[in-house]
């Protein structure tokens, strides 16, 4: 019997420099894909996987993220007055249970590992999920639910993995893989941003993790890794051999929305997948590209 998975950490304290000037006065995680901000995709995906408690690791200028999950009384009253029932129903369907979102401040963005460590009191002794909101996955079964299904079976740590072009290994956390069983691989090693010649495989971790609370012990050592940042990958690597550790080649397609091309691809893919927008967008693309 594994401990139930009910908590998630959403690190949102990064500077989002690749999206300046859009992110000068607005958090990157509020950028919309079609009509929904990135943060809302992450929260919806987590709730679908049974997550009930959230901790956002924030920094300066991130209050829009907190307001987004609050009830907008004036807006709701105006919508009700004007009989905008669909808009009102949409807002209400997404309302979060009171007290389900906590926030902590990272203060200085010292790296993803440091951001996760800032949520240590929230995590306590429980297993938890991490979702990086700038990774979006378009799939039949939400990506975190796919990981949670593996966690139910294996316990321990489970990360979502995908193949990357061998020349791009220096951008990601890369796996050294052991035995494979279907889409699941045993993780035997982890390296953050290895040069292509040193990469143990072309399987990269994406922004979906289920981790045991012990990772906080390793993070608290505050060892600096690639880019002089406190790397989550390095702390995770220290857990290998102490508890089960699996990578899941998830079903679906990942879009790196922290990158301009990935973000634009996500807009198109998510719009095409929508029954209300897909046909019109397809038609536009066909005509525009052939013009
Ligand atoms: P990124 O590497 O995408 O960095 O962080 P960034 O600052 O958000 O964006 P760029 O590179 O400047 O354009 C990956 C995730 O880790 C979080 C980010 O918010 C993002 O969700 N993060 C990163 C933190 O919360 N704190 C950090 O110190 C670093």
Q: Which two tokens stand for residue 286?
A: 């066909």
Q: Which of 248, 229, 21, 20 is nearest to 115 (CA)?
A: 229
Computed over every residue of the chain, the mean pLDDT equals: 94
pLDDT single digits (tens) 261-271: 999 999 999 99
pLDDT single digits (tens) 33-45: 999 999 999 999 9
Q: Which atom in ligand 1 lies closest to the alpha carbon of residue 132?
A: 21
Residue 113 Cβ inside 6 Å of ligand 1? The answer reads no
Domains of the chain (ranges, CATH numbers)? 7-285 (3.90.550.10)
Q: Which of 69, 129, 58, 57 is nearest to 99 (CA)?
A: 69
| Residue in 24, 37, 230, 258 to alter for ligand 1 test, most ligand atoms within 8 A of Cβ | 258
CA distance 29 to 39: 5
Beta-carbon contacts of residue 141 (< 8 Å; ≥ 6 apart): 251, 252
Tell me, what's the pLDDT at 202? 94
The alpha carbon of residue 286 and the mean position of all alpha carbons in its chain are separated, in whole angstroms, by 32
Q: How far is the CA of 55 from the centre of ligand 1 (A)?
A: 16
Q: Which of 236, 85, 91, 248 is nearest to 158 (CA)?
A: 248
Pairing outcome for strands 7-11 and 128-131: parallel
Q: How far is the CA of 237 from the centre of ligand 1 (A)?
A: 20
pTM of the model: 0.95
pLDDT single digits (tens) 144-179: 999 999 999 999 999 999 999 999 999 899 999 999
pLDDT single digits (tens) 184-199: 999 999 999 999 999 9
Q: How far is the CA of 15 from the centre of ligand 1 (A)?
A: 6
Confidence check: pLDDT of 201 > 90: yes
Q: How far is the CA of 13 from the centre of ligand 1 (A)?
A: 6
């Amino acid at each position: 019997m594994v401990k139930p998975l009910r908590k998630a950490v959403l690190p949102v304290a990064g500077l989002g420099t690749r999206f300046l000037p859009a992110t000068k006065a607005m958090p990157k995680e509020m950028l919309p894909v079609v009509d929904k901000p990135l943060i809302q995709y992450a929260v919806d995906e987590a709730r679908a996987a049974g997550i009930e408690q959230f901790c956002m690791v924030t920094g300066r200028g991130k209050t829009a993220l907190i307001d987004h999950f609050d009830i907008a009384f004036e807006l709701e009253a105006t919508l009700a007055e004007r009989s905008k029932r669909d808009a009102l129903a949409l807002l209400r369907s997404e309302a979060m249970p009171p007290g389900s979102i906590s926030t902590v401040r990272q203060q200085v963005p010292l790296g993803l590992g440091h951001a996760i460590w800032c949520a240590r009191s929230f995590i306590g002794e429980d297993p938890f999920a991490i979702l990086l909101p700038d990774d979006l996955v378009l799939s039949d079964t939400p990506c975190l639910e796919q990981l949670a299904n593996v966690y139910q079976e294996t316990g321990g740590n489970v990360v979502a993995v995908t193949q990357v072009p061998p020349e791009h290994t220096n951008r990601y956390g890369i796996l050294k893989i052991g035995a494979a069983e279907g889409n699941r691989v045993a993780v035997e090693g982890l390296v953050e941003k290895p040069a292509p010649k040193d990469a143990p495989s072309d399987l990269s971790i994406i922004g979906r993790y289920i981790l045991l609370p012990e990772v906080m012990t390793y993070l608290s050592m505050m060892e600096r890794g690639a880019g002089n940042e406190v790397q989550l990958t390095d702390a995770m690597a220290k857990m290998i051999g102490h508890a089960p550790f699996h990578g899941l080649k998830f079903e679906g397609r990942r879009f790196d929305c922290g990158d301009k091309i990935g973000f634009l691809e996500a807009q198109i893919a998510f719009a095409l997948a929508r029954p209300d927008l897909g046909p019109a967008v397809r038609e536009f693309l066909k005509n525009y590209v052939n013009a």
